[in-house]
Amino acid sequence: MLFALALGSAVADYFLIEPNRNKKKFFLAIDEYFSEAKEQYVNWFDEIENYFNKRVDKIKQTI
């Protein structure tokens, strides 16, 4: 009887608790990925803005 309860507990942990942990880890990983991607896009657009501002300044100087 005790063995059956231990086995049932292990099976419940494997099929009920562990998938929830994996889902949480998965969603945390997705959230971290999108946060990093957002930061990279913001940095990329900042670089583009700086480039165009430099080009505009050069064009203004030549006029």
pTM for the full predicted model: 0.60
What pLDDT score does 35 carry?
A: 94
Residues 6+ apart with CB under 8 A from 52: none
Number of folded domains that form the chain: 1
* Residue numbers of the domain that contains 19: 1-61
Q: Which pLDDT tens digit goes with each residue over 10-36?
A: 777 777 777 777 778 888 999 999 999
More confident residue, 50 or 17: 50
C-alpha triplet 3, 7, 8: angle, nearest 5° = 115
